[in-house]
Chain A
Amino acid sequence: MSTTEAPTLHGSRCDSCGNVAFPVADGCQRCGQQVMRPIELSEHGTVWGFTVQRFAPKSPPYVPPAEGFSPFAVGYVELPDGVKVEAVIDCVDFSDLEDHAPVRLTATEPVPRFASSSFLAVAP
């Protein structure tokens, strides 16, 4: 994969009931059938809910960034595909994320990462 390629979240859609799963799944949580087909999830979504991680999580397993821990937002991003994905959400101010703020996928590893419009506007 080239480094310039846009990040993509991979999920599954059930051929039997249409339910969408993330991450990729073998069996459907809704109908129990095993006819899941791989899909690429949308890179655009809205903030469904979030909180702020105010203290550094325990290490291990947490690996703090090189510049040290600073509080970050974590929450669920509602995707138009019909699933809400847990993610770290970058923003300029935590209040940016209120009221179903639109966000865009910026990374998939180590976990899905999205960013608010105002963060993307000032991002290098």
Chain B
Amino acid sequence: MSGVSIVGAGLSAFGRQPGVSGREMAIQAIRRALVDAGLEWSDVQIAFGGSDGSGLADTLVAELGLTGIPFTNVKNGCATGGSALVSAVNAIRSGSAEIALAVGFDKHGRGAFAPLPEEWGLPSGYGDAGLMVTTQFFGIKIARYMREYGITAPTLAKVAEKAYANGTLNPNAWRRTPMSADEIAAADMVNDPLTRYMFCSPGEGGAAIIVASEAVATRLGGRPVSLLSAVTRTRGFGTFEVFAPAIQGSGAPTSVSTTAAAAAFEAAGVRPDEIDVLQLQDTESGAEIMHMAECGFCEHGEQEQLLEKGATLIDGSMPVNTDGGCIANGEPIGASGLRQVHEIVTQLRGEAGERQVPGGPRLGFTHVYGAPGISACTVLAV
């Protein structure tokens, strides 16, 4: 998938912003991406975007300018940003546009995720019994994984400690206060073995990415980043997902993250061990650990030793979530996938300031995972 470049990337502030709507955050992110690219809104020829709960992206034209371009709304859970980006890339590759926008945004209040069984195709009994609790899935999955692969509880705390530490180096992060692994481990247990500070929280923010053909990227100059691949996948048979009344099939469940990451690497012609900086969905600490292996960056069970060696720190051999990830930035569902792409673009351009990965990273990777079993991955290069 050569020939598509990211020419502009922009974020709104992340974290609680009283009085600022999700749509306003989207506008901020788009305007910043346009400035970054050296473009005007009138240069954008096609757009894709969405939010999970903050309105329709195509209404943003009222503020941006009524240029009449096609603007498609995307609603794909945690893959909203990824799906918008894939569509933007395909528009460039097909030749139907030379400059395309992908945007994602959301504004979730505290405790915003209150799913009802009927919306998930489940009998109301699942609500009565107290099983409509998203965090249970993560607890069950990592608890089993730890028993199977010898991952210990201090390693979970270490992942969250890194997220908060990276957040202190990111002026745009929500959580910018360091927290020690001991404090994280000693916090209230939510769903064993995960404590309160190991989870990301429903959050607020907007993110925008502008892609362009190679010809336009060359003409603009700037600091383009090649988008080697962008892939989304839904789950295959036998996966284990949030709010699943059963796991079908015998044997170990497969993961949609594995399928999506493998497809992204294949399309890019790149191997996981060549990646210099990466973003992995960290809904909670355990997810980051499991996604390291599911996406091909290590063997299952190797994480304990890798984290012991500091491999995922900013100066480690495979820096993960250098901006603090979802744990430090919060989870505005529509925005997170493109926030990840923004961070990798920033790192590959060498513009990440205090949190810059040393040694001039050349290849980056992003991964989101979400309900009901979707994943979006990208491979980026300079």
| A interface with B by C-beta (< 8 Å) | 11, 19-23, 29-30, 48-58, 60-64, 72, 74-76, 82-86, 88, 94, 98, 109-111
Instruction: List 17 contacting pairs A-B, 8 Å CB cutoff, sorted by A.
Output: A20-B248, A29-B237, A49-B141, A53-B136, A54-B189, A55-B188, A61-B128, A62-B127, A62-B130, A62-B132, A63-B129, A76-B247, A82-B249, A83-B247, A86-B244, A109-B125, A110-B126
- Residues on B with beta carbons closer than 8 Å to the beta carbon of A55: 188, 190
Q: Are A63 and B136 within 8 A (Cβ)?
A: no
- Residues on A with beta carbons closer than 8 Å to the beta carbon of B244: 86
Q: Are A57 and B143 within 8 A (Cβ)?
A: no
- Residues on B with beta carbons closer than 8 Å to the beta carbon of A23: 123, 245-246
- Residues on B with beta carbons closer than 8 Å to the beta carbon of A22: 245-246, 248
Closest partner residue, chain A, to B138 (CB atom): A51
* B125-157 vs A, Cβ < 8 Å mask (1 yes, 0 no): 111111111001001110110010000000000
In the docked arrangement, what's the CA distance between A85 and B246, Å? 4
Q: Are B191 and A51 within 8 A (Cβ)?
A: yes
* B103-115 vs A, Cβ < 8 Å mask (1 yes, 0 no): 0000000010010
**Number of residue pairs across A and B with beta carbons under 8 Å?**
112
- Does any Cβ of A come within 8 Å of B59's Cβ? no
In the docked arrangement, what's the CA distance between A98 and B147, Å? 9
Q: Which of A58, A84, A109 contacts B246 (CB 8 A)?
A: A84
**Given A61-B117, A74-B136, A85 contacting B245 (CB threshold 8 A):** yes
- Does any Cβ of A come within 8 Å of B215's Cβ? no
Q: Are A50 and B131 within 8 A (Cβ)?
A: no
Q: Are B132 and A57 within 8 A (Cβ)?
A: yes
Q: Min CB distance, A78 to chain B, in Å?
A: 8
Closest partner residue, chain B, to A56 (CB atom): B130
**Given A51-B191, A86-B245, A109-B125, A57 contacting B250 (CB threshold 8 A):** no
Q: Which of A60, A64, A74, A83 contacts B248 (CB 8 A)?
A: A83
Closest partner residue, chain A, to B147 (CB atom): A98
Most buried by B among A21, A74, A98: A74
Q: Min CB distance, A117 to chain B, in Å?
A: 20
- Residues on B with beta carbons closer than 8 Å to the beta carbon of A75: 140
Q: Are B128 and A62 within 8 A (Cβ)?
A: yes
**Given A49-B141, A82-B250, A110-B123, A54 contacting B133 (CB threshold 8 A):** no
Q: Are B141 and A83 within 8 A (Cβ)?
A: no
Q: Which of B114, B126, B147, B240 contacts A58 (CB 8 A)?
A: B114
- Residues on B with beta carbons closer than 8 Å to the beta carbon of A110: 123-126, 128-129
In the docked arrangement, what's the CA distance between A84 and B245, Å? 9
Q: Which of A51, A58, A63 contacts B128 (CB 8 A)?
A: A63
Q: Min CB distance, A63 to chain B, in Å?
A: 4
In the docked arrangement, what's the CA distance between A83 and B123, Å? 19
Q: Are A30 and B246 within 8 A (Cβ)?
A: no
Closest partner residue, chain A, to B127 (CB atom): A61
- Residues on B with beta carbons closer than 8 Å to the beta carbon of A19: 237, 248-249
Q: Are A72 and B249 within 8 A (Cβ)?
A: no
- Residues on B with beta carbons closer than 8 Å to the beta carbon of A74: 130-131, 136, 140
Q: Are B129 and A88 within 8 A (Cβ)?
A: yes
Q: A22-B246, A23-B245, A52-B189 are in contact. List 7 more A-B contacts (CB 8 A).
A: A30-B249, A48-B247, A76-B240, A85-B245, A86-B246, A98-B147, A111-B125
Q: Are B188 and A49 within 8 A (Cβ)?
A: no
4 nearest A-B residue pairs (beta carbon)? A61-B127, A110-B125, A51-B139, A49-B144
Closest partner residue, chain B, to A80 (CB atom): B250
In the docked arrangement, what's the CA distance between A21 and B246, Å? 8
Q: Min CB distance, A89 to chain B, in Å?
A: 11
Q: Are B247 and A84 within 8 A (Cβ)?
A: yes
Q: Min CB distance, A25 to chain B, in Å?
A: 9
- Does any Cβ of A come within 8 Å of B182's Cβ? no
Q: Min CB distance, B192 to chain A, in Å?
A: 5
Q: Min CB distance, A33 to chain B, in Å?
A: 13
Q: Min CB distance, B121 to chain A, in Å?
A: 10
- Does any Cβ of A come within 8 Å of B186's Cβ? no
- Does any Cβ of A come within 8 Å of B116's Cβ? yes
Q: Min CB distance, A110 to chain B, in Å?
A: 3
Q: Are A50 and B143 within 8 A (Cβ)?
A: yes
- Residues on A with beta carbons closer than 8 Å to the beta carbon of B194: 51
- Residues on A with beta carbons closer than 8 Å to the beta carbon of B139: 51-52
- Residues on A with beta carbons closer than 8 Å to the beta carbon of B123: 23, 110
Most buried by A among B128, B130, B140, B191: B130
- Residues on B with beta carbons closer than 8 Å to the beta carbon of A94: 192
* B213-249 vs A, Cβ < 8 Å mask (1 yes, 0 no): 0000000000000000000000001101000111111
